[in-house]
Amino acid sequence: MNTLKVIKLAQVKELTTFSSATIYRLIEKGKFPRQLKLAERSSGWLLEDIHNWINEKKDARDRGES
């Protein structure tokens, strides 16, 4: 069974060390996972999406890409 966990912006900032502005700028450029709309005034990210994004950055680094 696949367990999905939704995290809020504060946790995304903690995991990435990015500011809110940087996160939203990267989303606009298509370079960061988009958040899920949970309710009218609530959104969050799948923890798995953030982990995958971090792993992609690590793999790019290990391949010598910038």
Could you write out the three-class secondary structure of 53-65?
A: HHHHHHHHHHCCC
Instruction: For residue range 3-56, list pLDDT tens digits in order.
Output: 799 999 999 999 999 999 999 999 999 999 999 999 999 999 999 999 999 999
With tokens 């982990």, the residue in question is: 51
Q: In whole angstroms, give the CA distance from residue 42 to residue 65.
A: 36
> Measured on CA atoms in the order 7, 8, 10, 12, is the torsion positive or negative?
positive
Write down the pLDDT at residue 14. 98
Write down the pLDDT at residue 2. 66
As a whole number of Å, the CA-based R_g of the chain is 13
